Amino acid sequence: MGLLDDTEVVKRAKNRRGLEASANRLLKAKKTRRGKKTRNKRKIPKMTYKQYMGSAYWKKRKLLYWNKNEKKCFICGKKEGTTLHHKRYNVKYGDEPDDAFVALCQFHHHTFHLNYQLKADMTKDTDTYLREAKQTYLQFKETNLDDLSWCG
């Protein structure tokens, strides 16, 4: 991929700013007559996965997930470098349920994607991987090996 010309850079920046602005409007809470806060029910714009991952919608969704769940790898419990893995890509971005994600460290996230092909719904593959990787991790931990640095 070559360098982008100035017009392409400007187009992308405007698009990104537009998506962020609409995300911020959507995510603001408004007060009702009785003073209770409700969320605006505006529609989240259609966007590609790549656009979504760089948007304010994704930042807000991650924050909501981390507020409800501890930020540590499901398999090894490592806290540093923990990311969210999408179990499904066939959901509306921004409205994913919490069960569409699992927290994984960089090692386990990368290992999953090396072993399984990308599909719209990877729930079964993810659950299988989590079960097997957790079992393997616990077996290594029980053997009292000093060097588990490869895994967390």
Domain boundaries defined on the chain: 6-142
Q: Which of the four pLDDT bands, split at 50, 70 and 90, describes residue 10? A: low
The answer to whether the beta carbons of residues 101 and 85 sit under 8 Å apart is yes
What's the pLDDT score for residue 115?
A: 92
Give the model's pLDDT for residue 1.
43
Report helix angle 56-68 to 6-27, nearest 10.
40
Other Cβ atoms within 10 Å of 122 Cβ, number: 21
Mean pLDDT of 115-125: 89
Tens-place pLDDT, residues 60-92: 888 889 989 989 999 999 999 999 999 988 888
Residue 144: which region, alpha, beta or left (left: phi > 0; alpha: psi -120 to 50)? left
Better pLDDT: 1 or 101: 101
pLDDT of residue 29 exceeding 60, the answer is: no
What percent of the chain stands above pLDDT 70?
Answer: 66
With CA atoms as reference, report the closest residue to 104 among 128, 126, 75.
Answer: 75
Report how far residue 152's alpha carbon sits from residue 149's, in angstroms, rounded to the nearest whole number. 6
**Banded pLDDT at 93 (limits 50, 70, 90):** confident
Please give the Cα distance from 102 to 86 (Å, whole number).
7
Q: What is the largest CA-CA distance in the chain?
A: 62
Express as a percent the part of the chain with pLDDT over 90. Answer: 30
Asked if 104 and 76 count as a contact pair (C-beta separation under 8 A), the reply is no
Mean pLDDT of all residues belonging to the chain: 80
3-state secondary structure of 61: helix
Residue 69 structure tokens: 């769940």
d(CA 101, CA 104): 9
pLDDT at 128: 94
Name the band, by pLDDT with cuts 50, 70 and 90, for residue 26: low
pLDDT at position 24 over 50: yes
